[in-house]
Structure 1
Amino acid sequence: MTARYVALLRAVNLGATRRVSMPRLREVLTERGHGAVRTHLASGNVLLESPLPEVELAADVSAAIAEEFSLDVPVVVRTAQELAAVLAADPLGHVATDPSRYSVTFFPEPPAPERVAAAPSAEGGEYALRGRELYVWLPDGFQASAMGSWKWDRILGVAGTNRNWNTVRKLVELTR
């Protein structure tokens, strides 16, 4: 059975290095048998249909990038339904007034409970961890907030990839 997914690539096209051509990536993923492949923005958001389960799909997309672009790029995958649930959950929606300063970090698996319990108190914003997603609201922006520079992968022991609320909304819209 084929499912609709969003593959979120970590740390691509952020500068002159780690460049991944989205048009070429679409071609490569289509050649690998995935359907309805499309991208949103150059920051590594891929919408596609695949019969593979989530973990295998993440590995396949990562392998395709390694083979085609010689880059080791972690990939986090969510089904269209899971992504819609992230948007619907919106635990900080009651305080987040600017979607460009509200974001979600997507993890491949939930952080260990002991790491979550040891996470520091919010500074200059708020955060909420819900399963495999970390919602972060920084009213003064990432640059002006101490919390904006926190290394969440070190704090929580698992690496993820971050998208602002506008991008999350758009990805949900594109999966419908």
Structure 2
Amino acid sequence: MTIYVALLRAVNVGGTGKLPMTELRRLCEEAGFIDVRTYIASGNVVFESKLARRAAQAALESRLEAYAGKPVGVLIRTGKEMADVLHANPFSDEAPNRTVAIFLDGPPPADTLEHMTGQGNEKVALGKQEIYVHYGEGMANSKLKIPAAKTGTARNINTIATLAEWAAQ
């Protein structure tokens, strides 16, 4: 059995993609996942499965699409990978609620930083399959655009720390 952390894209954010966490747990259990736990209402779920990562991702995506009537992006990391993301945070001296990791399906393109626009006081660094951003004045007023992050999903360091802790139990 492998412990996975699934991060759903665009769920319960800004009035779009409504998905009650009770439904997310039910869908995960229907997929055969065990010890399913959701964290806050933004599409974070920790579970165990016998399935390989891509198979677990496909099982969850198909159930979510049937539920929502449209594709819902899912990114999956193992518990160890989630802990690695937390420990690799290049902005660990900054406020964790203003620092995010944008999770991607693969490594960020080498030219990611060159194609950003609207950067103010944000700090940006590339990880293995993540883009780290520290929003010095918060995300709400940021004009930063990162084209390579378009299909990713962001979580702040506090959320990542909790998910990594849950996945380690």
TM (norm. structure 2) is 0.90
Aligned to 2:44: 45
Aligned to 1:169: 161
Aligned to 2:121: 124
Closer, same or farther: CA 52–142 of 1 in aligned 2, 3 Å: same
- 1:110 correspondence with 2:107: yes
Give per-residue Cα distances to partners, 1:116-161, cap 9 Å, x unaligned. Answer: 36334853120111110111001101123332xx1x2xx2276100
Stretches of structure 1 lacking an aligned partner (at least 5 in a row): none
Secondary structure of residue in 1 paired with 2:12: coil
Aligned to 1:25: 24
Alignment identity in percent?
35
Q: Which amino acid aligns with 1:171?
A: L
CA distance in 1, matches of 2:140, 2:150: 23
Q: Alpha carbon RMSD of aligned pairs, Å?
A: 1.8
Stretches of structure 2 lacking an aligned partner (at least 5 in a row): none
Q: Which amino acid aligns with 1:137?
A: H
Secondary structure of residue in 2 paired with 1:146: coil
Give per-residue Cα distances to partners, 1:77-126, cap 9 Å, x unaligned. Answer: 000000001111121113x1x2111111000111333x336334853120
Count of paired positions? 167
TM (norm. structure 1) is 0.87
Secondary structure of residue in 2 paired with 1:173: helix
